[in-house]
Structure 1
Amino acid sequence: MSGAAPCVVRSGKPQGAPWIPVAIVGGGACGLTATLMLADAGIECVVLERDAAPSGSTALSSGFIPAPGTRVQKARGIEDSAGQFERDIQAKAHGTAAPHLARAYARKIGPALDALEANHGLQWELLEGFLYPGHTALRMHAVPERSGAGLMSRLRRAADAAGVAVMTGALARELWIGDDGQVTGLGFLRPDGRMEQLGCGAVLLACNGFGGDRALVRELLPEMAEATFAGHAGNDGSAIAWGRALGARLADLGGYQGHGSWAVPQGVLVSWALMMEGAIQVNREGRRFHDETQGYSEAAVHVLAQPGGVAWNVLDDRLLAFAQEFPDFREAQSAGAVHRAPDTEALARLIGCSAGALRATLDSVRDGEVSTDGRRFTRALAPPYHAVKVTGALFHTQGGLDIDTQCRVLGRDGTPWPNLLAAGGAARGVSGNAVWGYLSGNGLLSAVAGGAIAARTATQWLTNKESP
């Protein structure tokens, strides 16, 4: 379905259109979490999904969700708290993450995962053995498949079991606003080009960010203007367009999640867990160029700044065995992205660099060594080596509609629309206004916690309203 039709705001209410208490734009993790929570509250809703099947940015992600205080985390004896998680969010963002959202999401994400488990059969596993950049406790949760596609599959099955209406092939393009300033409905394009309308009591915009709109990326994220976009086509800037048309407040538009490990030319993600376990990145000259343990988001910028905008991930047999636990790495292997080199000379030929320069780099990677960029190594890399050619990519944006702690969209003066909600990629996140503010998992944190909060807000709003 083409996304060429503009997003518009219309006055009044759709005439003769069916009515639903809540309409959700987008069927990713945010939209499906919200609809499952609404089902728990007995609130009828419909999800408008542009694709033939819900997937979105979630399906392209690792599917890992950070959360403190869950049943699973407690069962493993992990000491953690919402306060500690909030501090980690702010530490990664250098204190620039929206304080009200960092606190709200840190407090809500644990109960949200527990509710999805208890009420809808979502199975969570805690990733153990290593910490993702910026996290001070083991709190990364995943479904057994350890992939975003697996997470989406389980959320879809839960939605089907709950009897939730998911309308696919429905590209939302009209937002209707009544004379009193409240949202009254939506208009959406069908695959055959027809525009249909739907009246509703509340709208949740869960329609991703703007990473797929090249014009907006050039305007708002100029350093990523030429970068590969590795996200979903649904990141078309719909929320930004509606926000500008409404006179809504936008925030943190310079924040985004990049990734410094996008295999080329295969176009698949290679898990950053490798870097946390001892792998390194070298450029075409065979030299390291940043502290890989600081985070995969800012690594995108570092990689793009290297000759040719590429780097090589270098690992050994021990790390190869570890990497094969992750579906994205197995996919990269199947695609031919992982190359084997029996020794330093062969690895240098693969990379196209001086064997002497590469040997000096590898010799500096040893137990107890602290590099000039601050990385502390705990073991050497031993031949045979394995290497993956990668570039920096833009995955999804972290800025959008400004929202309050109830996920209500705010006007320029800070006044909320009572029944227009936004969460996930459509809203500002908790990564501040720059690439380095992204804490691992912030995207799905905002999606799942925001979806749960928005569902509660819609439920509270509708209890005081009458159907038309």
Structure 2
Amino acid sequence: MTAAPVLRGAPERIDAAADVVVIGAGACGLMAALRARAAGAQVLVVERDATPSGSTAMSSGFVPAPATRFQREIGVADDTPARFAADILAKANGRCDAELATLAAETIGPALEWLADHAGVDWRVLDDFLYPGHSRHRMHCVDERTGAALHARLLAAAETMEIAIATQARATQLYADADADAGDRIVAVGIERPGGGRETLGCGALVLASSGFGGDPDLVKAHIPELGGALYYGHAGNTGDAVRWGEALGAGLAHMSGYQGHGSLAHPHAILISWALMMKGAIQLNERGDRFSDESGGYSEQAVKVLAQPGGFAWNIYDETVHRFGLAFPDYREAVAAGAVRTAPTVGALAAMTGLPQLRLAASLTEVARICAGTRPDPFGRDFSGLAPLLPPFYAVKVTGALFHTQGGLRIDGCARVLDRQDRPFANLFAGGGAACGVSGPDVSGYLSGNGLLTAIAFGFLAGRAAVRAALEPAG
């Protein structure tokens, strides 16, 4: 941004106006827009890209939610928001915001059912494996199992509900009421068009859904120094605009060091290799041919462990059974088509193909076979019960660790209103998804699978309805 991110007082002119303006057309922004429109508001979504995509379209599209009718349809009848919140807190070692975790766990189920009933989003629940940290099958997805397909459904719903989406419109400035007693009410948003054209949009309420700051190297170095030079596998538009607006307004920030990493990004193809393969028995070896961690602990913290290996990479090693399971995932099929997945008929051929020392490779595979047979414990503490030894033919993918998504951001209350540094809510400013503080706590190990879309959809759901009240109902 070349100018001050927040200006005090009314703008010189208003080019257009809406009851609720939403910045960002990802899952959070579209959820907020759909909810606000259904509540009777005039809604305008501002999107910087020519075609909306963002982090949602790049994700796997899996959304964890408890106590839904979709779970009950597959026989999961004992999941509850309290159980889900406990899983979130356990993964974060109790270091995340417990109230936000409970809020997300209680909100996400009704939000997904609302999307099914009012936006035509059809959900299915994955029940062939559990992601690390989840105690029940609760991952919801659309039939295609991709974030792009989920995002397309949300866009289609927005079109059906006649929600205006202004593309190629980057929000650059917020205008706040000059009267300090007004609680810093946002009165307008300045946007910039390609070629330098500028417009000003009046708003009754504003929802910040512009995601996190992974695309800004300076902010990453400042808040997540351990990944300051790591590959960023996220949307380039996640440049921390919401953080800068919040800081200029005096908003509270929390857990800025938290993030989602991933320890299985195909190198150099930059294609995500689903962690489901690890849960089905795949292992990771470094260039010496040695395992170096409990691969079932979680893909987020695995990013740091992989980057700490010689050269900053590892090899995913698995067999035909795991390979066939992986083919159910579109990103894995993409990796196969790109040539990232290699196969070898013997240990010797696998060593020659990967460059791994044959003796150490063979020793590692033998050790895993013994652990699977129960004749020795895993030195890293992984539970191999129910998993079979890896048998030829073998499959291998060279992977590295990457930063996917930041998890810290603006502090919010129970209806997704942004809070200032004294915990006072702003009158009409809301945030969700990557723009808000999430539920992963202050470090990479706290990320529970699906936390990103969880807070995008749950907090967007809350923000959309509350923004209508802030915009249309008289102040009390």
Q: Same fold (TM over 0.5)?
A: yes
**3-state secondary structure, aligned to 2:86:** helix
Which of 283, 286, 301 lines up with 2:286 in the alignment? 283
Where does structure 1 differ by over 6 angstroms across 4 or more consecutive aligned residues? none
1:126 & 1:7 partners in 2: Cα distance?
Answer: 45
Go from structure 1 to structure 2 and tell me whether the alpha carbon gap of 1:325 and 1:5 turns closer, same or farther (over 3 Å shift): farther
Q: How far does residue 40 in structure 1 lie from its aligned partner after superposition? A: 1.5
Amino acid at match of 1:139: R
| Structure 2 segments unaligned to the other structure (5+ residues) | none
Go from structure 1 to structure 2 and tell me whether the alpha carbon gap of 1:310 and 1:465 turns closer, same or farther (over 3 Å shift): same
2:174 & 2:225 partners in 1: Cα distance?
Answer: 29
Does residue 197 (structure 1) correspond to residue 200 (structure 2)? The answer is yes
Q: Which residue of 2 aligns with 1:371?
A: 378
1:373 & 1:395 partners in 2: Cα distance?
Answer: 25
**3-state secondary structure, aligned to 1:391:** strand
Q: How far does residue 69 in structure 1 lie from its aligned partner after superposition? A: 1.2
Q: How far does residue 164 in structure 1 lie from its aligned partner after superposition? A: 0.6
Q: How far does residue 245 in structure 1 lie from its aligned partner after superposition? A: 1.2
Does residue 453 (structure 1) correspond to residue 462 (structure 2)? The answer is yes
Amino acid at match of 1:407: A
Q: Which residue of 2 aligns with 1:53?
A: 51
Which of 357, 360, 364 lines up with 1:361 in the alignment? 364
Go from structure 1 to structure 2 and tell me whether the alpha carbon gap of 1:94 and 1:6 turns closer, same or farther (over 3 Å shift): farther
Amino acid at match of 1:432: G
Give the percent of matched residue pairs that are identical in Structure 1 and Structure 2: 51
- With the length of structure 1 as denominator, give the TM-score of the two structures: 0.97
Amino acid at match of 1:266: H
**3-state secondary structure, aligned to 1:364:** helix
Q: Which residue of 2 aligns with 1:318?
A: 321
| Structure 1 segments unaligned to the other structure (5+ residues) | none
- With the length of structure 2 as denominator, give the TM-score of the two structures: 0.96
Q: Are the equivalent residues in 2 in contact too, given 1:7–1:241 (CA < 8 A)? A: no
Residues 120-169 of structure 1: CA distance to partner in whole angstroms, max 9, x if unpaired?
11011111111000000000000111001111111111111111111100
Alignment of 1:295-314 (within 5 A): 295-314=298-317
2:144 & 2:10 partners in 1: Cα distance?
Answer: 44
1:5 & 1:122 partners in 2: Cα distance?
Answer: 40
Q: Which residue of 2 aligns with 1:429?
A: 438
Q: Which residue of 2 aligns with 1:13?
A: 10
Q: Are the equivalent residues in 2 in contact too, given 1:100–1:404 (CA < 8 A)? A: no
Q: Which residue of 1 aligns with 2:67?
A: 69
Does residue 24 (structure 1) correspond to residue 22 (structure 2)? The answer is yes
Amino acid at match of 2:277: L
Q: Which residue of 1 aligns with 2:271?
A: 268
2:92 & 2:466 partners in 1: Cα distance?
Answer: 27
Q: Which residue of 2 aligns with 1:141?
A: 140
1:44 & 1:281 partners in 2: Cα distance?
Answer: 51
Q: How far does residue 368 in structure 1 lie from its aligned partner after superposition? A: 4.2
**3-state secondary structure, aligned to 1:137:** coil
Residues 210-234 of structure 1: CA distance to partner in whole angstroms, max 9, x if unpaired?
0010011111101101110000011
Does residue 230 (structure 1) correspond to residue 233 (structure 2)? The answer is yes
1:298 & 1:410 partners in 2: Cα distance?
Answer: 29
2:444 & 2:47 partners in 1: Cα distance?
Answer: 28
Which of 255, 258, 262 lines up with 1:255 in the alignment? 258
Q: Are the equivalent residues in 2 in contact too, given 1:243–1:401 (CA < 8 A)? A: yes
Q: Are the equivalent residues in 1 in contact too, given 2:17–2:201 (CA < 8 A)? A: yes
**3-state secondary structure, aligned to 1:233:** coil
Q: How far does residue 395 in structure 1 lie from its aligned partner after superposition? A: 0.4
Q: Are the equivalent residues in 1 in contact too, given 2:19–2:468 (CA < 8 A)? A: no
2:20 & 2:12 partners in 1: Cα distance?
Answer: 17
Q: Are the equivalent residues in 2 in contact too, given 1:257–1:394 (CA < 8 A)? A: yes
**3-state secondary structure, aligned to 2:400:** strand
Q: How far does residue 6 in structure 1 lie from its aligned partner after superposition? A: 5.3
Residues 216-266 of structure 1: CA distance to partner in whole angstroms, max 9, x if unpaired?
111110110111000001110111111221121110001000000111111
Q: How far does residue 404 in structure 1 lie from its aligned partner after superposition? A: 1.1
**3-state secondary structure, aligned to 2:95:** coil
Q: Are the equivalent residues in 2 in contact too, given 1:7–1:238 (CA < 8 A)? A: no
Does residue 82 (structure 1) correspond to residue 91 (structure 2)? The answer is no
2:437 & 2:261 partners in 1: Cα distance?
Answer: 16
Q: Which residue of 2 aligns with 1:98?
A: 97
**3-state secondary structure, aligned to 1:294:** coil
Aligned length: 463
